[in-house]
Amino acid sequence: MIRLFLAGLAIALSGMVASAQESALQPVLQEHRDLIAKSSRMTISPAIDAIATSGAPQAQEMLEQWAEKNIWMRKSDGLFFIGEKVDAKTYALSDIDTGRMIAEVAKSEIKQLKPNSGVRAMIHTALVQFQLSDPNPSKRQDALTSIARDPEASLLAPLRRSIDGEVDKDLRAQKKRLERLLTIGYDEDTNARVAAIEEMSGDLGVDVRATLNPLLATTRDVAIGDVPQDRNIARTLTPGTDELSVRDAYALLVSKDLAPPLTTRDDMRAALAANIDGGRVGSVPVAQLSTDEARTRAYAALAADGTVSALVTDADVQRAVASHVFFETYIDPSAEVTTAAANALKTIGAKVGVNQALDLTLDALSLASIYFLAAIGLAITFGVMGVINMAHGEFIMMGAYTGYVVQQVIPDHTVSILVAIPLAFAVTFAAGVAMERLVIRWLYSRPLETLLATFGISIALQQLAKNIFGTQARPLTSPGWLDGAWVINDVVSISYIRIAIFILAFVFLAIFLFIMKRTRLGLETRAVTQNPRMAASMGINPGRVNMLTFGLGSGIAGVAGVAIGLFAKVTSELGSDYIVQSFMTVVVGGVGNIWGTLAGAAMIGFLQKGIEWFNPSNTLAAQTYMIVFIIIFIQFRPRGIIALKGRAAGD
């Protein structure tokens, strides 16, 4: 019994030793010692693959330490260790398999492995398969990012193996998507690639298009007789057309060693100069080689003697090209894959077009809301009072600077914006009332003098802003919850600030309609707008209505300034950037009509974005075309989209 027990124990111990040896990493390193010691990008791949596929639990740490240049080789026996610096001349060596410290040795006794950037890139690629199943979610995310940035066929299998064990919902979705993309590009099974392409054919992701487009990459080729049947042909080319010139076709023949190269003028001159003999070149005197005809004759004589290669004529080029067939062939050899990729890209292209139209619509609506917010105050003053207020833009600027000052006092951006909006309204309302009482009320029914006076006030306010705040742009920071954008897909997105401005514009539309329809001021304003004399005879004070109306329009301009300042630079010229668009919005929509202003803002916003889409590289030209269109539009509809009867319309 004792003998049997000892025999069994010996067998078990031998099995454990054998298992430990099989899982040890040092033997694998010794097998590839020369390659590892040299660490050349051209030869290191077998060593890295052997470590990664060894099954040793220390493989990941070994690769990580190697990439960090912490692996050392002992010169006496060639064994590899993890080295840690003790002092300038001494290093502590740890066993790669067990992690135990072996000894402290002098630096002169060991050699550091210093992989270059190319070798480190290969090591990081090998590490990905370990990181895909790492307990740390951030490392798994880094692995997926690395695969997406630099995909390889060797990463497909470990990526697939890691999907079933992934517990994080988002990472699992990323892995599945990335697996589909790598299947399209690298799977050896054609049916699997086609199935993956069809599955992703409705996806608008840029990465999908980046994966499909290389499948349709082509190269030009040439053959004698017929097009090869064993090639994945994209199309045949006809020399002498726009798709392939005769010269390009002959150059392709030359590159394939199917025709002699053309002799250029420089080649001919060099050949003639090298073969001058007794003042002649091939029986032609050197003094006569001043014309192309003489040089060609001399070169032909040299070619006849076999001194130089024969001159290729245009007839030779035509004959050579005519005797060959030219075609483009897909780089990917599978016709099923390229056909599926072409169909998928066609489907995706149609969906991208629809989503681009949606994205352009959102941009136009966003721009229209900005123009509406900037012009609503001008619509009130212009419609009720008939005053061309060139200082309206400066009220927008004052509102933006009010928001900036508030943020200097209240550092919380959310609270500061909530305080800045009503404060900007109050400041610009007071400024508008003061301007109306001091200047505007003396210039009623004198539009030219009003224009000049408000233009002068505009310049004065700009200079005052420069004196107070300087010429440098001031930041008006939006709250953190307005950072970023609402991303619908890879094509359609809109920033949260633009959405907030869009909502703010409709809030002020509702407030304006409430004031006009439900308050005494609105009733009096509408009365003065329709017939100021009749309103005065009914006990309404037109002067008071004009003052409050002008203040209301100026106050709304101040609020618009806060909103615009969240995404535009706050400078003294901020208002001048929007005054022209504000007047165009009011005039096109219909003077004095809030619904007309809304329609005008929508029309100008869509028009500008549409023109910019056709001419994206020149925004100045887009604005020019827009102004020309509006001038033409006004010729046919001078009162705007929605005309208002009353004083504002000239009745």
The full DSSP string for 213-267 is GGGG-EEEEEEESSPPTTS-EEEEE-TTBTTB-HHHHHHHHHHTTSSPPP--HHH
- Find out whether 567 and 495 touch, Cβ atoms under 8 Å: yes
Q: How confident is the model at residue 38 (pLDDT cuts 50, 70, 90)?
A: confident
Q: List, for residues 296-346, the tens digit of each pLDDT value.
A: 778 777 777 777 777 777 888 888 888 899 999 999 989 999 999 999 999
- Distance (Å, rounded) from C-alpha 547 to C-alpha 442? 12
With a cut of 50, say whether residue 7 has pLDDT above it: no
Task: Look at residue 92 and give its three-state secondary structure.
Answer: strand
Sheet holding 218-224, edge to edge: 218-224, 324-330, 233-237
pLDDT of 342 reads: 92
- Distance (Å, rounded) from C-alpha 421 to C-alpha 562? 7
Place of tokens 């009509």: 593
- 183-212 average pLDDT score: 90
Structure tokens at 10: 């010996």
φ, ψ of residue 573 in degrees (nearest 5): -95, 5
Structure tokens at 89: 């001349």
Query: Among 1-15, 53-67, 76-90, 112-126, which is the least confidently predicted range?
Result: 1-15
pLDDT of 22 reads: 47
- Find out whether 377 and 560 touch, Cβ atoms under 8 Å: yes
340 membership: H or E segment, kind and range: helix 335-385
pTM tops 0.85: no
pLDDT of 645 reads: 53
Question: Regarding the domain delimited by 352-649, which CATH topology (the fold level of the hierarchy) does it fall under?
Answer: ABC transporter involved in vitamin B12 uptake, BtuC (1.10.3470)
- Distance (Å, rounded) from C-alpha 159 to C-alpha 132? 7
pLDDT of 19 reads: 39
103 membership: H or E segment, kind and range: strand 101-106
CA atoms within 13 A on the CB side of 632: 6
With a cut of 80, say whether residue 399 has pLDDT above it: yes
CA atoms within 13 A on the CB side of 23: 10
Q: List, for residues 16-34, the tens digit of each pLDDT value.
A: 333 344 468 888 888 888 8
With a cut of 50, say whether residue 10 has pLDDT above it: no
Q: C-alpha distances in angstroms, 261 versus 257, 258, 267, 271, 509?
A: 9, 9, 11, 15, 75
Sign of CA dihedral 531, 535, 541, 547: negative
- Distance (Å, rounded) from C-alpha 452 to C-alpha 587? 19
- Find out whether 587 and 601 touch, Cβ atoms under 8 Å: no
pLDDT of 16 reads: 36
With a cut of 60, say whether residue 280 has pLDDT above it: yes
- 135-142 average pLDDT score: 88
φ, ψ of residue 435 in degrees (nearest 5): -65, -40
pLDDT of 461 reads: 92
Q: How confident is the model at residue 649 (pLDDT cuts 50, 70, 90)?
A: very low
% of the chain at pLDDT higher than 90: 16
With a cut of 50, say whether residue 543 has pLDDT above it: yes
